[in-house]
Amino acid sequence: MTSAVVAFLLLEEESSEKVKRKILRDCSNPLELPETAFIAYYRLNKEAFRMVLDTTEGHLTRSKVPPVLQLAPSLRFLAEGSYQRSVGNDSSISVARSTVSTILDDVLKVMERFICPQWVKLEMDGTEKRRSRDYFYLKYKIPSIIGCIDGTHIKIIKPSIDEHLFYNRN
């Protein structure tokens, strides 16, 4: 077989693989999952997912991947903290890891611009901050804490006493 024929066959094989992948992706619909599985995967219900999708889809135009398949793996990444294992094995999201890596940046920027200002707020007056600080100190003996955000690791200066209380396994 000549090298030109081999190259043609490889190109043909590669292009048919891309077509299969596109067909598979276009048939993917994470909203077909049962509600309990959906909540476990994405950490929000389908109604909230649709609300986020409605808010963001007009702004997710850089990629050829449909907005629902940009949002789903991005939320899955945020729920799991990783996309290597969860998104790569997810049959309801047929998107390659490299594609997830590309679209994740876009989705997070759109969410930061259009979702966060409306929903992510820490509005506490001085009295509420003092009450919260007292609660955390009395219950956990951790000074100067006014709130917690699940799954968020914030670098702090190592305390001089009771260092073991501030150990973070991550």
**What is the dihedral sign for C-alpha 97, 78, 121, 142?**
negative
- List alpha helices for the chain, DSSP H: 3-26, 35-42, 46-56, 67-80, 97-114, 116-119, 126-140
CA distance 92 to 73: 10
- Crossing angle (nearest 10°) for helices 67-80 and 97-114: 90
In SS3 terms, 57-88 reads as HHHCCCCCCCHHHHHHHHHHHHHHCCCCCCCC
pLDDT exceeds 60 at position 13: no
- To the nearest 10 degrees (0 to 180), the angle between helices 35-42 and 46-56 is 60
Note the pLDDT of residue 132.
92
Query: What is the predicted pLDDT for the residue at 102?
Result: 85
On whether the CB atoms of residues 134 and 126 are closer than 8 A, the answer is no
Statement: residue 133 has pLDDT above 80: yes
Cα 68 to Cα 58: distance, rounded to the nearest angstrom: 11
Domain spans of the chain, in order of start = 7-119, 126-166
Global pTM? 0.62
Tokens of 144: 């100067």
Amino acid identity at 141: K
CA torsion 106→110→112→117, rounded to 10°? 180
pLDDT at 45: 94
Q: What is the pLDDT of residues 99-128, one digit of tens each?
A: 888 888 999 999 999 999 988 877 889 999
pLDDT, tens digit, 9 for 90 and up, residues 53-92: 999 999 998 888 889 989 998 898 888 776 655 555 565 6
